[in-house]
């Protein structure tokens, strides 16, 4: 069978696959299909993959893979948010899986397409929508009040001067391109050409996270995985910035803690732990960083599901 190469290099691929330990016949969820790098490796190991992506471009590309046409198919595509994996898999007749992997955030494909509006390296429409529908970045920035914009920049971009940037955005309306937003942010923050990090980076991250409700998706996806994984099932999550990693770290810490409860839920005496064998943060080595600089900010955390009943809201 001819393999379909992924157009971009998946980060921490060997580490993710080692954490999932796929066996022939396993049913595994790739919650963030993207260019299919993890899915390709899982299929090559003999697993059946249920792959989720809200981006119609990713789903359209996946439908060209030969595994979607096998009987029964070994690649089943779900054009939905991964927070909906529990419902979507139930509709497909799947109630338990051997593994779930998530690669959180924007994909390389989306970043590299100027017309998607995720990055400011090339000018494009101020869009940032992973699903290509709903409120765009331009819609939000041109209609929200100054305090709402400042809150998004502060909480999701950790921008210390969020109020100054928000004030500049409102004064510069309407914004229609990524270049418009980048210029406004740079001017507000006094950008120095040649500085190691463009000051617009934090604002772009914040607006993207808000438009796509990414942190809510992550929390709901972790809860869904908890309910889907059977005993011995494996969870592997790759994140790309501190906000995401903090959520994953706290979730696994709470789920593996004595008592097994979440700090967000009422404590239950002697409740068993939800996960065991929780890893420390795993990051790319020098060899991978030389081949794929985008792996520099990637962090993998993984764990193994116990037989404990899933919590209703993790």
The stretch 65-92 carries a mean pLDDT of 97
The stretch 251-255 carries a mean pLDDT of 96
C-alpha dihedral (276, 221, 111, 36), degrees to nearest 10: 70
**What share of the chain in percent tops pLDDT 90?**
73
Radius of gyration of the chain (CA): 20
Specify the CATH superfamily of domain 113-212.
Putative methyltransferase TM0872, insert domain (1.10.150.170)
Q: 1: which DSSP letter? A: -
Q: How confident is the model at residue 116 (pLDDT cuts 50, 70, 90)?
A: low
User: What Å distances lie between residue 74 and 8, 35, 44, 60, 86, CA to CA?
Assistant: 22, 17, 11, 17, 19
- pLDDT above 80 for 262: no
Backbone angles phi, psi at 17, to 5 degrees: -65, -40
**What share of the chain in percent tops pLDDT 70?**
87
The stretch 106-125 carries a mean pLDDT of 61
The runs of H, that is alpha helices, within 232-294 are 242-256, 286-291
pLDDT score at 5: 40
- pLDDT above 70 for 235: yes
- pLDDT above 90 for 47: yes
- Predicted confidence (pLDDT) per residue in 88-114, tens digit: 999 999 999 999 999 996 655 545 554
- pLDDT above 50 for 3: no
Q: How much is the mean pLDDT over the chain?
A: 89
The stretch 158-165 carries a mean pLDDT of 97
Residue found by looking up tokens 């309910």 in the block? 227
The stretch 149-174 carries a mean pLDDT of 97
Angle at 5 between CA 4 and CA 9, to 5 degrees: 150
Domain 13-108+214-305 has CATH 3.40.50.150: yes
The pTM of this model reads 0.88
- pLDDT above 80 for 1: no
Same fold, 13-108+214-305 and 113-212: no
- pLDDT above 70 for 12: yes
Q: How confident is the model at residue 122 (pLDDT cuts 50, 70, 90)?
A: confident
- Predicted confidence (pLDDT) per residue in 129-140, tens digit: 888 888 999 999
E strand segments, 109-176: none
pLDDT score at 236: 98
Do residues 38 and 103 make contact, with C-beta atoms less than 8 angstroms apart?
Answer: yes
The stretch 268-296 carries a mean pLDDT of 89
Domain boundaries, the chain: 13-108+214-305, 113-212
């Amino acid at each position: 069978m001819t393999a379909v190469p992924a157009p971009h290099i998946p980060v921490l691929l060997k580490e993710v696959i080692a954490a999932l330990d796929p066996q022939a016949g396993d049913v595994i969820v790739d919650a963030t299909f993207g260019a299919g790098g993890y899915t390709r490796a899982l299929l090559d190991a003999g697993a059946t993959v249920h792959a989720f992506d809200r981006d119609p471009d990713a789903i359209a590309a996946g439908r060209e893979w030969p595994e979607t046409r096998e009987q029964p198919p070994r690649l089943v595509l779900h054009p939905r948010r991964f927070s909906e994996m529990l419902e979507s898999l139930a509709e497909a007749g799947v109630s338990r899986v051997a593994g779930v992997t998530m690669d959180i955030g924007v994909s390389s494909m989306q970043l590299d397409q100027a017309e998607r509006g995720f990055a400011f390296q090339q000018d494009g429409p101020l869009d940032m929508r992973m699903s290509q529908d709903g409120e765009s970045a331009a819609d939000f920035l041109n209609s929200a009040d100054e305090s709402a914009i400042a809150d998004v920049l502060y909480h999701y971009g950790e921008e210390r001067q969020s109020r100054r940037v928000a004030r500049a955005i409102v004064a510069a309306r309407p914004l229609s391109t990524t270049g418009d937003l980048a210029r406004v942010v740079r001017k507000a923050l006094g950008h120095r050409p040649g500085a190691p990090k463009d000051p617009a980076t934090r604002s772009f991250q914040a607006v993207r996270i808000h438009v796509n409700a990414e942190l809510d998706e992550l929390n709901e996806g972790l809860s869904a995985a908890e309910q889907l994984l059977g005993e011995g099932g494996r969870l592997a999550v790759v994140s790309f910035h501190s906000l995401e990693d903090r959520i994953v770290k706290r979730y696994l810490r709470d789920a593996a803690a004595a008592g097994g409860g979440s700090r967000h839920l009422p404590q239950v005496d002697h409740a068993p732990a939800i996960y065991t064998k929780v890893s420390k943060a795993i990051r790319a080595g020098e060899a991978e960083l030389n081949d794929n600089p985008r792996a520099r900010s990637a962090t993998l955390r993984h764990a193994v599901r116990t037989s404990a009943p899933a919590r209703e809201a993790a």
